Amino acid sequence: MATAQFVCANWKPDSTDCKKVGKYSCKNCLLVAYCGADCQKAHWALHKSHCKSPLGKETWKPDWVLEGRPPVFVGDEDQASFDAKQYLWGNMPALDVLQLGSNEGDDYEKQLNLLFAASGDLRNIVKTIAEIPSSYGGPVTVTVNDHDMDIVARNAILLLIALVSDDVGEAVDCIIHVWYSALVRKSDLEILQQRVRPLVESVCEKIKGKQRTSVLAKTFTFGQRSLRLVLQKSSWDALLAYMNVPAGLTAEQANRIRVAITLAECRKDYRHRDGLVQSPSRRVAKHRFRQDGILLPFGSSRDDFQEPNPTLYQKANTWPIYDSADPLNGWSPKDVEDTSSGPATADIYGKLFYHLRALLRTFILNLSKLAVSFRLFHLAFSDLQSHLERNYFSRIEVSNVSDGGYVGIHHTVGLMAPLLQGPLVNRHATLITLFMNAVSEMTTMEKREAAMSAESQALKRLMKYIPMERVPLHPFDPFFIKLAYARPNVASYDDVFDRFMENMAVAEMEEALSVAVKDKHTVIDKWPYQLKLRPGQPGAQEEFDLLVGAGLAGTERYVEWRRTKMYREEMDGEAVKTLLENMMALELWR
């Protein structure tokens, strides 16, 4: 790949006339850039199918409209679903869990201890380390846990790539593709097999006589940085496989397996529903990513990507990720949109690629400056507490395990609160919990009549963003579908969430566990993806389009907790267990 920042879409290593640097965009789609008219003409045979795609037309309509039928998502969704898949990519934008300047202060010098107790991928870790201010020079410990071995293995591999590589640019691009691309380059595979795999092999050789269930730890040291990996013996052995392509799996076979999921006919209506809230060029870009699964600028050559990504293809006949999974979901839509993709201003995956390049570069450079110690565990969330230090962590982030369908609010706070630093140690120490389902779960319990007034107000506000341009022709008209899809972005849910917290008896839990919900958030907004501007204000329509297009519903609620005093040490383990069981019973009963 050329080293120029924005590359001419017609450039290849054997090019003779191309100037390499893309200075002019394709005016029709704004997805690719060229160095001049000659390269644009030479490239037209390849670009035409994308540039003239029906998805890129303002007049595009979903197939359910063209075929005169109801879309499948208004019926039995089970008819259009797949077997359970994995969340190997984040489905909420990354957050900096420190926000040091707004909490301890940029001049803070004490050790920072961070816990990502149900981590998912590395996005929050990368963003947090990358945004540590340059004034901070103290040590940092980062403890990362997930119950899914695929996630733990990929996180370990990505961190080892960052730690073993001497070339920052080489490491950054390798991490991007191992993280997000279905096919990788030979050079990426060589880093996995020649730089990372030998580290794991040396451990496996030493422990080959141990029992499969034995828990074994190994610390890899790189100067003042280290990574400690704590796994069962069977998981250490399995880790080797994540760096080898399954025997006989070719790039063509891998692509067929993935496309059978990402472009499945039974999921077409869901893709087209998403397409209703995308710009024409973005529809084309999203379809292209579903086709080839390679995270690159739209105009970049895919020729070097010929190796199935072994961290994703663990089984030769399976694509493990949900069909709707998208690398864009894990990053701030505004940060990505504000990233330059050169003349190709509509190239959303190009913007993401350049955004990740800059962020990962800062992440790796900060690792080289700071004394950072990583600890990776592969444990169930409920088992983690017994392996960690009490009163130790400056920040604890638990994703959405507090949702009712997972661990629940009482068990989550009960298990994590003892690990958080008390106010005498660090009054800024914070436990961050995310509720993705609480609003929808609580809303289904509301009486319909009581919600009618609020529904009417939300609809009036929504139609200021999505005006009726013509009389809708039928109940499944795109206008109605867009209204239903975007409706959660314009409503207020404070009262709903307050009732949820009341139903969960949070006040009693706070008293029992010596914790409290913070009145003022200092890490992340309570409702980070609700609209901030009113209809008609400058930038309001752009804000609405960005959030709706990113699939953020505005119902995602973060809660920040603090320790009110040192944890009640006098409560023995049995007393705490009884308390949590009683609260869990209350949660289930309500």
Cα–Cα dist 506/367, whole Å: 39
DSSP output for 122-142: SHHHHHHHHTS-TT--S-EEE
pLDDT score recorded for residue 20: 85
Best CA proximity match to 84, nearest among 404, 320, 325: 320
Helix (H, G, I), strand (E, B) or coil at 109: coil
Per-residue pLDDT reduced to its tens digit, 201-236 = 999 999 999 999 999 999 999 999 999 999 999 999
Q: Which of 33-42, 72-81, 140-149 has the lowest mean pLDDT?
A: 72-81
- When pLDDT is averaged across residues 160-170 and rounded to a whole number, the result is 96
Domain total for the chain?
1
pLDDT score recorded for residue 82: 63
pLDDT-based confidence at residue 468 (cuts at 50, 70, 90): confident
- When pLDDT is averaged across residues 120-144 and rounded to a whole number, the result is 97
pLDDT score recorded for residue 570: 41
**Is the pLDDT reported for residue 135 higher than 70?**
yes
Cα–Cα dist 369/364, whole Å: 9
pLDDT score recorded for residue 571: 45
Per-residue pLDDT reduced to its tens digit, 65-95 = 999 999 999 865 544 456 658 999 999 999 9
Rounded to 5°, the CA angle 48-53-57 comes to 125
264, with CB counted inside 10 A (0-12, 13-18, 19+), is middle
Owning domain of residue 492: 435-589
Q: Is residue 447 part of a domain?
A: yes
pLDDT score recorded for residue 85: 80
pLDDT score recorded for residue 396: 98
Best CA proximity match to 428, nearest among 515, 557, 522: 522
Q: Is residue 521 part of a domain?
A: yes
Cα–Cα dist 79/198, whole Å: 45
Rounded to 5°, the CA angle 172-175-178 comes to 150
Best CA proximity match to 416, nearest among 379, 378, 377, 389: 389
pLDDT score recorded for residue 534: 92
Cα 539 to chain centroid distance, Å, stands at 26
Rounded to 5°, the CA angle 186-187-192 comes to 95
Six-digit token pair at 388?
């960690």
**Is the pLDDT reported for residue 2 higher than 50?**
no
- When pLDDT is averaged across residues 517-530 and rounded to a whole number, the result is 96
Q: Is residue 469 part of a domain?
A: yes
What percentage of the chain exceeds 70 in pLDDT? 91
pLDDT-based confidence at residue 453 (cuts at 50, 70, 90): low
Q: Which of 97-106, 300-309, 459-468 has the lowest mean pLDDT?
A: 459-468
What percentage of the chain exceeds 90 in pLDDT? 80
pLDDT score recorded for residue 81: 56
Q: Is residue 477 part of a domain?
A: yes
H or E stretch at 544? helix 540-549
**Is the pLDDT reported for residue 417 higher than 50?**
yes
pLDDT score recorded for residue 492: 87
How many Å from the N-terminal Cα to the C-terminal Cα in the chain?
58
- When pLDDT is averaged across residues 56-73 and rounded to a whole number, the result is 94
Cα–Cα dist 218/232, whole Å: 11
pLDDT score recorded for residue 565: 76
Cα 296 to chain centroid distance, Å, stands at 18
- When pLDDT is averaged across residues 16-33 and rounded to a whole number, the result is 91
pLDDT-based confidence at residue 589 (cuts at 50, 70, 90): very low
DSSP output for 262-299: HT-GGGHHHHHHHHHTS-HHHHHHHHHHHHH---S-TT
Q: Is residue 449 part of a domain?
A: yes
Q: Is residue 343 part of a domain?
A: no
**Is the pLDDT reported for residue 41 higher than 50?**
yes
**Is the pLDDT reported for residue 586 higher than 50?**
no
pLDDT score recorded for residue 182: 98
pLDDT score recorded for residue 587: 47
Q: Is residue 214 part of a domain?
A: no
pLDDT score recorded for residue 1: 39
**Is the pLDDT reported for residue 244 higher than 90?**
yes
- When pLDDT is averaged across residues 124-144 and rounded to a whole number, the result is 97
Cα–Cα dist 150/238, whole Å: 10
Q: Is residue 164 part of a domain?
A: no
